């Protein structure tokens, strides 16, 4: 199995899981696969936890020859794995050691038990669309899997977000901010501000205001095949642009353009774990 290479990214908040995490990594290597671990997780395991990882490679950048990315943590870790992977086409398997874990397929015990399934990539492949963002002075990655958020600075007054789709005006959102979420991200920040849950395969985005000044401004679902423009104004001087938790401060008056990214993310899930089962488990719909 020397042609298999697993790139592992994980949260360093793993004190209760380090032994099993090491067991997972070593099990893959023992089966003949190549294993590359992101430098921060590698250093945490080998330096902070004093564990040995024989035959395991320490890497900074995502390996070009990786056949699968493994994200160990919660949904936040999964999003950071997407950013690390950038536009590499390798699928991502989420191993949950966090809380809700909407994006993760299995927990750590299951990963160790089902090591043969990981080696055979015996999972359903879900293709998740992403958001591509264009804005002046935007730092870091210009894409998001879950959502793009424009929000006021912490101590400033509310902002006005003029939203248009394909150059046709939608609304002016006078609010603390606006969430533009993909179906994948509909169960994240969008859900917490009152937005709808969207089936992952739906070709749509949802626009959900944060603490809107007007009671008539409600979450809005739009097709994802257009160009969304957000012009942000206000009485302060700057606003926050947040892509999957990665923040940039931009001057008010900046225009933010959002499109669907050409590349999708392949998320691996168990064959028996579909959307309805996931929301039933995580949100206790059937309780």
Strand partners, 5: 34
Marked catalytic residue, from 48, 65, 75, 176: 75
CB count, 10 Å around CB of 45?
22
**26 burial level (CB within 10 Å; 0-12, 13-18, 19+):** middle
Nearest to 200 by CA among 102, 107, 121: 102
Nearest to 144 by CA among 261, 276, 237: 261
**Cα(184)–Cα(127) distance, rounded to whole angstroms?**
10
**Cα(167)–Cα(86) distance, rounded to whole angstroms?**
29
Tell me if residue 137 is catalytic. Answer: no
Classified as helix, coil or strand, 275 is: helix
Q: Which residues are catalytic?
A: 75
């Amino acid at each position: 199995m020397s042609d298999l290479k697993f790139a592992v990214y994980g949260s360093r908040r793993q004190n209760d899981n380090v032994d099993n995490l090491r067991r997972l990594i070593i099990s893959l290597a023992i089966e003949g696969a190549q294993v590359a671990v992101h430098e921060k997780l590698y250093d945490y395991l080998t330096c902070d936890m004093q564990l040995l990882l024989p035959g395991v490679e320490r890497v900074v950048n995502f390996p070009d020859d990786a056949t699968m990315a493994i994200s160990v943590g919660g949904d936040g870790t999964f999003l950071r794995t997407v950013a690390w992977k950038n536009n590499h086409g390798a699928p991502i398997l989420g191993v949950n050691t966090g809380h809700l874990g909407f994006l993760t397929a299995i927990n750590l015990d299951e990963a160790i038990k089902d090591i043969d399934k990981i080696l055979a990539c015996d999972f359903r492949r879900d293709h998740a669309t992403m958001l591509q963002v264009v804005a002046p002075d935007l730092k870091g990655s210009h894409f998001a899997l879950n959502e793009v958020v424009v929000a006021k600075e912490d101590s400033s007054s509310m902002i006005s977000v003029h939203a248009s789709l394909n150059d046709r005006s939608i609304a002016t959102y006078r609010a603390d901010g606006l969430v533009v979420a993909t179906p994948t991200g509909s169960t994240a920040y969008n859900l917490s501000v009152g937005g709808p849950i969207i089936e992952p395969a739906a070709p749509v985005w949802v626009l959900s205001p944060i603490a809107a000044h007007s009671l008539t401004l409600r979450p809005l679902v739009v097709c994802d095949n257009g160009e969304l423009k957000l012009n942000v104004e206000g009485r302060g001087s700057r606003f926050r642009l947040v892509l999957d938790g990665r923040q940039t401060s931009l001057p008010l008056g900046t225009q933010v353009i959002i499109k669907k990214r050409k590349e999708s993310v392949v998320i691996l899930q168990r064959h028996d774990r579909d959307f309805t089962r996931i929301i039933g488990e995580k949100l206790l719909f059937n309780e």
